[in-house]
Structure 1
Amino acid sequence: MPDVLNALADMAHIVAEHCTGTVVALTGSAGKTTTKDNLKTILSLEGSTVANHRSFNNQIDFPVTVSRVEPDSRYLVLEMAPAARATSRHCATPRSQPPPSSSESAPHT
């Protein structure tokens, strides 16, 4: 693979297209790992939950976490470091649209 990061993002994108569960994305400068761990614990009581291991939240770990989603996964809790921002948008962009440039801001929902 000439570009491993893009290959990982493409793999996660394919998985994300089939994800029917609720996705929770956490960003910020402090408290992401604790919040992610607490949400995973609580949401796991309601259904199958996938979340980052420890504080693995960079451009490699983000798509690896997304790729762990199974058909029965009800929740996906993602802790995202600032460096993973462009990767996260690439994973979430429908294939019919080009990935947003890194200068665009993420939509607020």
Structure 2
Amino acid sequence: MSEDTIFGKIIRREIPADIVYEDDLCLAFRDVAPQAPTHVLVIPKKPIPKLADAESGDKELLGHMLLTLKSLAEEMGIAEDGYRVVINTGKNGGQTVFHLHMHLLGGRSLQWPPG
């Protein structure tokens, strides 16, 4: 279950993280292995293992997370030049922590396809 993941432990403050934003619905922190000069993860406090497990009742939460990413991009000075939002879903999608999370990447030119 996602409560037992490293992200669940970050939410419960059992392990440290460089938290840049928090509210009642989500938490944002800097990635420990950044893939760009700005690399922040936004996670829901509600345990959802992966995007494929989200339900119609999660629409408000998912929208809130995207708007949080937008605000963070503005605050971190990467909104004007552009940034990427990534959601890896499932093993073949590159997901390694099974607690839904969105990556905010920016601060350099990002290539396509990503890899």
* TM-score (normalised: structure 1): 0.30
Which of the pair is proportionally richer in helix?
Answer: 1
* TM-score (normalised: structure 2): 0.29
Which of the pair is proportionally richer in strand?
Answer: 2
Q: Which of the pair has the greater relative contact order for Cα pairs under 8 Å at 6+ separation?
A: 1
